[in-house]
Amino acid sequence: MFELFPDLTPIRHGWLPVGDGHSLHWEISGNLKGKPVVWLHGGPGSSASPMHRRFFDPERFLIIQYDQRGCGNSRSVHPLEQNQTADLVEDLERLRQFFGLNTWSVVGGSWGGALALAYAQKYAFAVEHFLLRSPFLCSPAEIDRFMNHPPAACLTHWQALKSHLPLNSSESLLAFGHRVFCEQNNLVSQSALALSWAQYESAMNDYPAPAQALQLLSGVSQIPRYQIQCHYLMNHCFVTPDALLAPDNLNRMDITLIHGEDDALCPVTNSEAILAVAPGARLVRLPGCGHALGTQPMQKALLGAIASW
């Protein structure tokens, strides 16, 4: 029960128009009559992954995945316009209604955990089970830690990223990234910056394990990801930790939290903060684990939590 399920081909996929020039790409897998569950991808700026659906027994679950505004295979006339957390919350609710579901279970990791919390603050009545893996709380301290204070093992990748700033620049790394990705249209500089950004983010994700070498020769494919990421981080993800942690709705929910104790991207204190306002939640702490979804302890914890539903 603690191994990922085999590769799974989606049964159907399509695009859901949500207004403002945005259409969300969605795909469903598993059992059409099964227990509905939606997976919220991370980032901001990432996308749905075939690996994510392998945490669910395809005979028991109707597995719903989608790409958020401006991400992955979703379509946008202007990706950064009308693209804030409140928009993504309403998109998620439109998706539930589109599939005709009274309730569903929600799984969110990292930024997807923050989005799940924002959704729960408005639509807790629609959530049967709530599973957060290494949730992000969008605090200024978290963003500053990621952009400016990496652990020593990730310092080389951070310095390579920071080397893109003009000599003697007083601009912050995040402000520079936002200017390059969101305010300019120079493919060469965007591609180079995206490649370094991806390598740094991957090292932070892998920590405390050694960073894996990325199989990327160019950063062109990563430009849309970091446009969205800089757009969100520059604006503190358009939400506050206090708004995400309002206790009334969270206390009505069945919540499981899974968090690596050595997470360099989203500190375990985030899950502790959720537990403090929702003491009925269950927190699974993983000693020696970081942020990466691919580690065996993280996968076992997620598989075990989902199997208990």
pLDDT band at 118 (very low <50, low <70, confident <90, very high): very high
pLDDT band at 284 (very low <50, low <70, confident <90, very high): very high
**pLDDT of 203 above 90:** yes
236 catalytic, yes or no?
Answer: no
110 catalytic, yes or no?
Answer: yes
Q: Which residue in the list 67, 87, 91, 263 is annotated as catalytic?
A: 263
Architecture of domain 12-138+239-307: 3-Layer(aba) Sandwich (3.40)
- Enumerate the β-bridge partners of residue 24: 16
**pLDDT of 135 above 60:** yes
pLDDT at 55: 98
Taking the C-alpha atoms of residue 194 and residue 211, their distance in angstroms, rounded to an integer, is 17
Indicate the Cα dihedral angle 182, 219, 15, 19, nearest 10°: 0
**pLDDT of 2 above 80:** no
Q: Which residue in the list 22, 129, 157, 291 is annotated as catalytic?
A: 291
Q: Which residue in the list 46, 110, 139, 196 is annotated as catalytic?
A: 110
191 catalytic, yes or no?
Answer: no
Q: What DSSP character marks residue 126? A: G
- Enumerate the β-bridge partners of residue 258: 133, 284
Domain spans in the chain, listed from the N-terminal domain onward:
12-138+239-307, 141-236
pLDDT at 225: 97
Residue range 5-23: average pLDDT?
A: 97
**pLDDT of 1 above 80:** no
Taking the C-alpha atoms of residue 224 and residue 286, their distance in angstroms, rounded to an integer, is 32
Phi, psi torsion values for 205, nearest 5 degrees: -65, -40
Residue range 179-200: average pLDDT?
A: 96
DSSP secondary structure letters along 266-298 = S-THHHHHHHHH-TTSEEEEETT--S-TTSHHH
Q: What is the pTM of this model?
A: 0.97
